[in-house]
Structure 1
């Protein structure tokens, strides 16, 4: 019934008829015979340059990627893999669009809407070109190599010292003068948010890649990226690493459980968590800088960073009360124009310091519901595809584990910060979402082949 309804909609939809409009031209184009590899080059170029260059240049690259996705869509006669994730992303974009129309600062919100649209088209391009396992592998490799460059520079800052570009440490703390690295990203919390996905995919790479050289590169990436994350001193990043690790271990246990002896099927996960918990407790106990930073999480308003966030959150909640359904419109420009009307004295803020509060204040309850729908769909579709790949014994499922773990880590960090609204992080976030979505046609094709 549903299939026939969708087919009827396709037959009567003017927009859907545009798909494949340029297909005759594509058949005669030598360049578009390499359509997917060219798309991956554009994706890799964004991943390579996003941490290193200005926001303007990243925006130009995203526009180019969006134009290329449009060209692929109009010249492709194959049925486009529209997943539930795509549909909910579209609903989220629709909610953001409506919020612009009713925003108290329409011009600023429209600017934010343009940036959001570029990120969502970037997601569509990534989901489109990463359907190939080989191209997915090359894209992830490019990202991991870039993360190594970023982390090595961050570790160099730790060794040789670096000037603070902002007041990142509590001035009353004994760690007030400690170094917090930020590499090319200009902010230690931003760097931590960037490295979460790199660590998750590095862990997955160790299990996916086959040769010793490849595994050596994966281990190097794990060690270097994790070390750099520690040197950021970002408490949100450290908590995100815990969330990432828990998700990765649980999913890996699920993936390999049937290969384990009966004893280890029952006790492996508890033993691993006990060992890791013991190591973490020992580190917090005997490494003073780590202990002081971790304990500051529980200091409440006695810690200046905690006090700042709590104060901003209460102001943001006031904003949400006044704009509950549609919000103030997307983007930090809209936030910066409305927030001063609600802020407490001396508590200037560029964002809500929480992804969930930021989404709620920008797009209201309607947009926030769509955002939560995306997360639920990611969990459901990710689990379904992982189960199918496990049943089919496809090693590609391990990349899916890495992407899901990265999403868990970034959302954990997002509870207390909005760093992944910046281009370097937002492109990585939507890349992780696209990786999950890209498995949809691959799994369906593998299931048909298996049943044939």
Structure 2
């Protein structure tokens, strides 16, 4: 393989800055690795990962401005991230959704992560990598996954006795519903999650890495090294089994089935719009004879794995009448997301606001959920039909481009490399049909990195990770204004998100300190810390809620009521805020105010039985008060 020219320095003036050199590539790879929850405290990991990427984006934007000013032509990377791409149209629509979001505070933090995903994708599509660099990259990613898997095995066999007390001692890290589910998994099913929040998150991460692991086995010529990578694959598959995730195993089955069957389906290959040579009469039967045993083994192995998972979980995938069938519970979440989309078809409720819009749409027999367990439907409910259309168009475009590249590869090593990238990206897209990987930064950053590398192939030449440098004499297709305005806007957006990321991190640090002081009964000190956090982010409704709770503990219901009213002003659709305000009014003896606010909480969350019960109690108190004060 012939290497393409690489950028020598960040501000090189002799070449257009549109390619990613190996050093910059590994810096970018460290970002999703840094987001992995390798310890219980993940705030610092996410902060450093986000900060590093935002600094890099800012420098690349400055670089683009310098190049444009010197050469009067655009930065190749900057023009690739333009409004012509459905993904970047989607993130632009997400930014606009901040103006009509049910919770602008929630939307801006989710927008931060989504912007970084799209940026990583755009950067990786500009990667120009020799095969040796790709193999080193694969080794690095697989070994990091091995560390995560070993941590999961340690949890499975040694840490359960310590993990349950950890959940009990740190309830502030989880919402009550999730905490109850995790305790149930640990005491009953013993599902593992390593330091991810849920087992399905760990499973979603492993299905990204397993195709790369398989490629390393194929690319390694030495027997003992091949056996070593085979053992690593065995560990990763074992940990994937212990997550007991139906969705991950089914996604992996579809991926490997597609990889096996794709060469046998000429019609599917033509979807790639590539020029194909017809197979000779003896080639297709020969391929079929080689593929049939693989399909049989894959199907049998998957059936055995799903049976064992069903035995462990107590609910088999094919037992559709089971009341707690995971497919049925997900279907109810999907239906709720569809109902939200039906009521907000053009704008959605705002990026990241599904958990706020969900309570009134929660269906009987379903569980309380912060996510729809289908990223596509959730994005549709949050960004409306325009956002859903842009995401689907981007996924279909990526898939068809992948088919094109797969159809034109001739070099065996190139074929293995690109097939593994395509398989990892396809697994990521499929798993998002049954889960919400894009809303988990560690999964989203890794997934979009691999999607971008898979989309960096030159379809005409069929070489993955290769891109010819455009002629420096070729004029830019964009106007001079766009050449300057776009990197300038990108620089401004990166700066704003950099400040936002710092504020969110400082607020999270203060919130953790507040919760520690509350556990020790130091409510006055906790309140002072909460006020410091409000200095950094006065528009944070959660901080107003915490302040109100602390003021209730300090026997100051008047000030607590003002704090809850401020939280409602910032996020009027959160039923919890209204319930707290109702309790505050009750302490003040204002039965009418308590009834109004509790009734509002019931309207926002009809299926929350605790709200219903409290409303009945307040109604009873009102009736007694009316009888007592009735004039004879």
Task: From the superposition, tell whether residues 205 and 65 of structure 1 become closer, same or farther in structure 2 (CA, over 3 Å).
Answer: farther
State the alpha-carbon separation in 2 of the partners of residues 71 and 217 from structure 1.
44
Matched, 1:365 2:385: yes
Partner residue, 2:216: 205
* Cα shift readout 1:160-207 (whole Å, capped 9, x = no counterpart): 252355444896x9x971211111213211000000011111112222
Residue 377 of structure 1, CA deviation? 0.9
1:151-166 matched pairs, under 5 angstroms = 151-162=149-160, 163=163, 166=179
Partner residue, 2:369: 349
Matched, 1:402 2:420: yes
State the alpha-carbon separation in 1 of the partners of residues 227 and 210 from structure 2.
14
Matched, 1:62 2:53: yes
1:41-440 matched pairs, under 5 angstroms = 41-51=26-36, 52=38, 53-54=42-43, 55-71=46-62, 73-74=64-65, 79-80=76-77, 82=80, 87-162=85-160, 163=163, 166-168=179-181, 177-212=188-223, 214-251=225-262, 263-282=285-304, 287=308, 290=311, 295-296=316-317, 298-300=319-321, 302-303=323-324, 305-306=326-327, 308-331=329-352, 334-344=353-363, 347-390=367-410, 393=411, 395-440=413-458
Task: From the superposition, tell whether residues 293 and 193 of structure 1 become closer, same or farther in structure 2 (CA, over 3 Å).
Answer: farther
State the alpha-carbon separation in 2 of the partners of residues 413 and 170 from structure 1.
25
Residue 337 of structure 1, CA deviation? 2.8
Partner residue, 2:21: 36
Residue 436 of structure 1, CA deviation? 1.7
Q: Tell me if structure 2 keeps the 8 A contact 1:247–1:408.
A: no
Residue 215 of structure 1, CA deviation? 2.5
Task: From the superposition, tell whether residues 425 and 371 of structure 1 become closer, same or farther in structure 2 (CA, over 3 Å).
Answer: same
Residue 344 of structure 1, CA deviation? 4.8
State the alpha-carbon separation in 2 of the partners of residues 41 and 447 from structure 1.
18
Q: Which moved more, 1:136-145 or 1:257-266?
A: 257-266
* Structure with bigger gyration radius: 2
State the alpha-carbon separation in 2 of the partners of residues 378 and 226 from structure 1.
27
C-alpha root-mean-square deviation of aligned residues, in Å?
Answer: 3.8
Residue 324 of structure 1, CA deviation? 0.9
Task: From the superposition, tell whether residues 232 and 25 of structure 1 become closer, same or farther in structure 2 (CA, over 3 Å).
Answer: closer
Task: From the superposition, tell whether residues 25 and 240 of structure 1 become closer, same or farther in structure 2 (CA, over 3 Å).
Answer: closer
TM-score (norm. length: structure 2): 0.58
State the alpha-carbon separation in 2 of the partners of residues 72 and 361 from structure 1.
37
Query: Secondary structure of the equivalent of 1:67?
Result: helix
Query: Secondary structure of the equivalent of 1:177?
Result: helix
Q: Whose RCO is larger (CA < 8 A, sep 6+)?
A: 1
Residue 306 of structure 1, CA deviation? 4.5
